[in-house]
Amino acid sequence: MQKAFKVTLIPNHNQEVLINKSIGCARFVYNHFLALKQEFYQAEQKTLTYNACSQKLTLLKKEIGWLKDVDKFALQNSLKNLEAAYKNFFADLKKVKGKKSVGFPKFKKKHISKQSYKTNLTNKNIQVTENRLKLPKLGWVKFYKSQDITGHVVNVTVTRTSSGKYIASILCKAEIEKYPQVTQSIGLDLGIKSYLVTSNNETVDNPKYYRTQKRKLGKAHKELSRSVKGSNNRVKAKIKLARTYQRITNLRDDFLHKLSTRLIKENSIICIEDLRVANMVKNHKLALSISDASWSKFVTMLEYKANWHDRILQKVDTFYPSSQTCKCCGFINPLVKDLKLREWSCPICGNYNLRDLNASLNILSEGLRILTAKSGGINTAGVSPAAKRLFKTAAVGAPDALNACGELVRPGVIQARIVEAGIA
């Protein structure tokens, strides 16, 4: 399994100059050969192949001295990128009109294109220690350690962000060390008031990073709009704004990673609502809160981490009335559709339901019900053998969630009670 570790580099002055030079040279090579390929095609009606370009690159390095100052892999990878851009373009040509997405390869511009270069591993030219990364030509570069980097390095991409930071994305081939097996299962109700409420009645607060950084963002936007075009202050204002956005993203990602990792570590089955975030964001009143909560990113994290550690992530249909159903007797209370109703007493069984906790318990039992149906031979297509084994051990705890008030109520009985209460 391949995994990319992103770290923020702390280059010294010389290293910073060399990184910028490498990015510049990679761009130069890309543009040089793009022009050459175009000229060659116009003159000969033939394509200049990758191998031909590669040979020409060796000659070019003899002509232009400064190309030798930078990492040779950066230049080679640039040629490979160009080759890939051509391939994508030709593959796209074969598609039907309206489905085309890739244009003819464009020249890379200094301030618009992605500022990066990629280098590959050969003979220990790349090494990682506790907080230093060895890169070709640059030598040892310090970085901020935020996570353990494990596995064998395949390649490293160095990027200069719009906020002026240097990020190394270290791609490693790694055996994932799986978390120990556990038997707990959990239901999650994702919300806005709280980020989520679990079926264990744990509430995780919503950090709302956009809201808390709103003043800073507003100030940074104002400074940018007031600065004169082309001035030094404008460059500074741009960097400041990009840094503020970057900070929000980092804070949120950190929160999402920690939360998803803990939930995966502690539980073997996690049941969640299958949210259609795109649809929900159309509701403008909720839009900012929902984008801020970045649920889809969170669910993606849960998905791949569940995959790594042999956990099951079971989604429950969006239309399953998790909030409105009484966890105790199964009565569906239409009044609970009102988002403001935070707690309610069930008119049938009298159970007192806290909105979010009740929903998470229902999501758990519905998720387990779907899994039971799958493992009972109705549909086992989507479940791996490892997951099935896991499910058998975990499902033992399921009945607790199904009848929280201690008695098993059959649907027929519920219907009778509804009629009795004069609701249906």
- The tokens of 55 are what? 């040979």
CA-angle at 41, arms to 35 and 46, nearest 5°: 135
Minimum Å gap between C-beta 193 and Zn ion is 23
- The residue among 213 and 403 lying less far from Zn ion, judged by its C-beta, is 403
Contact (Cβ atoms closer than 8 angstroms) between residue 188 and residue 147: no
How many residues in total does the chain contain? 424
Backbone angles phi, psi at 340, to 5 degrees: -75, -20
Count the site residues for Zn ion by CB under 5 A: 8
State yes or no: is 83 an active-site residue.
no
Contacts with Zn ion, 270-309, as mask; x by CB under 5 A: ----------------------------------------
Site for Zn ion, residues 319 to 378, rule: CB under 5 A: 326, 328-329, 331, 346, 348-349, 351
State yes or no: is 273 an active-site residue.
yes
- The residue among 269 and 328 lying less far from Zn ion, judged by its C-beta, is 328
End-to-end distance of the chain based on CA atoms, in angstroms?
Answer: 54
State yes or no: is 253 an active-site residue.
no
Catalytic residue among 273, 303, 317, 420: 273
Distance of CA 415 to the CA centre of its chain: 44
Minimum Å gap between C-beta 306 and Zn ion is 32
Catalytic residue among 71, 292, 356, 366: 356
- The tokens of 410 are what? 């059959």
Environment class of 190 (CB within 10 Å of its CB; exposed 0-12, middle 13-18, buried 19+): buried
Contact (Cβ atoms closer than 8 angstroms) between residue 303 and residue 297: no
C-alpha to C-alpha distance for 239 and 163, rounded to whole angstroms: 5
Minimum Å gap between C-beta 409 and Zn ion is 8
- The residue among 299 and 348 lying less far from Zn ion, judged by its C-beta, is 348
Cβ–Cβ contacts within 10 Å for residue 76, how many? Answer: 19
Minimum Å gap between C-beta 405 and Zn ion is 8
- The residue among 292 and 356 lying less far from Zn ion, judged by its C-beta, is 356
Minimum Å gap between C-beta 328 and Zn ion is 4
- Site residues, Zn ion (CB under 5 A): 326, 328-329, 331, 346, 348-349, 351
Q: Which residues are catalytic?
A: 189, 273, 356
